[in-house]
Amino acid sequence: MAILELKEVTKTYSGFSSVVEGFNFSVNEGELRCLIGPNGAGKTTSLDLITGRQTLTSGAIHFDGKEISRLAERQIVGLGVGRKFQVPAVFKELSVRENFEVAQTEKRGPFQNMNLFGTRNDRKRFDEIVELSGLGDRLSTPAGVLSHGETQWLEIGMVLMQRPRLLLMDEPTAGMTEQETIKTSEIFKELKGEHTLVVVEHDMSFVRSIADIITVMHQGKMLAEGPLSEIEEHPQVQEVYLGAEGIS
């Protein structure tokens, strides 16, 4: 059953052609979907529209059967949509533990409600996310001194602290080493099923390792959609994005 649906979604800026045009996109609950395409294809703008960061020009977006097209960002987060941006947004002066705690607060203030894990369920959730992120030995470390990969995992954990049903990930492996990328793929595989994930990514080897279904955007529209084997052989996808070598 679809948890996210974009119906004829269009985003046009004044004086410019449409960045997203008549885009139809549907993701089933528990699925891990990769959204790929050339730079400027409309991928990040689509995530902005889903989260309310930008307002669509026309069309409709539904999450869990509810239209969210005109809701504010905060309302959409409250419904269970979490997002990780390409550039990590963490509180560098706070420890890893404090960053996780801040992510759990409703007000999102870095110095508010710093002792939230009083209940058994809270502590269990915290322990699970720490284990998943692999940051158990870094809890007292200031976030500002973490490696790039560790910072990315911290932000993924912070998004998970909000208990989202849908996670939107914008180029989560950008700047990572090969080993960090492998670990990130393992994290995403663990999340799949319990959460629904939409991942915008340019690292095709990473896409190969995680994707259930791949959607290809080009010039604001859907160019192709399907499993890896179909996308690799799609002549238009090869022409505009992958090249003849496919996904390596």
Task: Give domain limits for the chain.
Answer: 1-80+167-248, 87-163
Percent of all residues in the chain with a pLDDT value above 90, rounded to a whole number? 70
User: In sequence order, which residues have a C-beta less than 8 Å from that of residue 74 and are 6 or more positions away?
Assistant: none
Rounded to an integer, what distance in angstroms lies between the CA atom of residue 136 and that of residue 95?
12
Tokens representing 32 are 């891990």
pTM listed for this prediction: 0.88
Per-residue confidence (pLDDT) for residue 105, from 0 to 100? 66
pLDDT in tens, 222-236: 999 999 889 988 999
- Kindly tell me if the per-residue pLDDT of 191 is higher than 80: yes
Indicate the pLDDT class of residue 216, thresholds 50, 70 and 90. Answer: very high
CATH of 1-80+167-248, one of 3.40.50.150, 1.20.1440.230, 3.90.120.10, 3.40.50.300: 3.40.50.300
Task: Please answer whether residues 70 and 49 qualify as being in contact, where contact means their C-beta atoms are separated by less than 8 angstroms.
Answer: no
Indicate the pLDDT class of residue 116, thresholds 50, 70 and 90. Answer: low
Percent of all residues in the chain with a pLDDT value above 70, rounded to a whole number? 91
Tokens representing 96 are 């890893």
- Using CA of residue 135, residue 141, residue 143, residue 146, what is the dihedral sign? negative
Task: Please answer whether residues 12 and 54 qualify as being in contact, where contact means their C-beta atoms are separated by less than 8 angstroms.
Answer: no
Rounded to the nearest 5 percent, the helix, strand and coil shares of the chain are 40, 25, 35
User: In sequence order, which residues have a C-beta less than 8 Å from that of residue 248 and are 6 or more positions away?
Assistant: 204, 205, 208
